[in-house]
Structure 1
Amino acid sequence: MQITLMKSKIHRVKVTQAELNYVGSITIDEDLMDAVGIIENEQVHIVNNNNGERLVTYAIKGERGTGIVCLNGAAARKAQVGDIIIIIAYGSMSEEEARTFRPRVVFPDDNNRIV
């Protein structure tokens, strides 16, 4: 049996942009993606701490070192610049693997930089 666990989390990052006229997705600073092992086009869940909105989209690489976190397309309606969100990616694994697996989590500072 395969079960689904959190594999990656960027906890409490600030939305820096919201671009409604874009195809879709969330743009994330590549440093943040690398730190937790999220790869481009991977499915991610977004939880908005400011308004309770939740959505599922996919990640695209943002310019490294900029702190960019930009909700694109329809997702831009789910958050405003300055909102605090949590970005979570999940993975499937066997129950045996899951018992020893440890997710990768980062807690960025107020400028979306890894502390």
Structure 2
Amino acid sequence: MFIEVMKSKIHRARVTQAELNYVGSITIDQDLMEAADLIANEKVQVVNNNNGARLETYVIPGERGTGTICLNGAAARLVQVGDIVIIISYATMEREEAKAFKPMVIFPDENNRLL
């Protein structure tokens, strides 16, 4: 049996931009992507701590070292600059593998920089 488990998480990042007129996605600073084991086009869930909104989208690499967290397209309507979000990726694996799996969780500072 396969189950879906949390693979990685960026916990409490601050939204730096919201661009409505864009194809859609979330742009994430490449430093944060690497630290959280995320790759370009990977599906993620975004949870907005400020308003409770939840959405799924895919990752676009942002400029390294900028702290960028930008919701693009329709998702931009669900956030405001300054909102705190949690970005979660999931993986499907065998139940036994999942029992031993340790997800990568990162905690950026208030400027979305790694501590």
Shared fold by TM > 0.5? yes
- Give secondary structure in 2 for the equivalent of 1:96: helix
Structure 1 residues 36-55: aligned runs within 5 Å: 36-55=36-55
- Report the alpha carbon displacement of residue 53 of structure 1 after superposing the two structures with TM: 0.3
Match of 2:73 in 1: 73
- Give secondary structure in 1 for the equivalent of 2:50: coil
Which ranges of 4 or more aligned residues in structure 1 deviate by more than 2 Å? none
Structure 2 unaligned segments of length 5 or more: list them.
none
Match of 2:31 in 1: 31
- Give secondary structure in 2 for the equivalent of 1:11: strand
Match of 2:102 in 1: 102
Structure 1 unaligned segments of length 5 or more: list them.
none
- Report the alpha carbon displacement of residue 99 of structure 1 after superposing the two structures with TM: 0.9
Q: Which amino acid aligns with 1:78?
A: L
Q: Which amino acid aligns with 2:42?
A: E
Match of 1:8 in 2: 8
* CA distance in 2 between partners of 1:99 and 1:18 (Å): 37
- Report the alpha carbon displacement of residue 2 of structure 1 after superposing the two structures with TM: 0.6
- The size of the alignment, in residue pairs, is 115
- Report the alpha carbon displacement of residue 36 of structure 1 after superposing the two structures with TM: 1.1
Cα shift readout 1:44-91 (whole Å, capped 9, x = no counterpart): 000000000000000000000000000000000000000000000000
* CA distance in 2 between partners of 1:36 and 1:18 (Å): 21
Q: Which amino acid aligns with 2:94?
A: S
Instruction: Report the TM-score, using the length of structure 2 for normalisation.
Output: 0.99
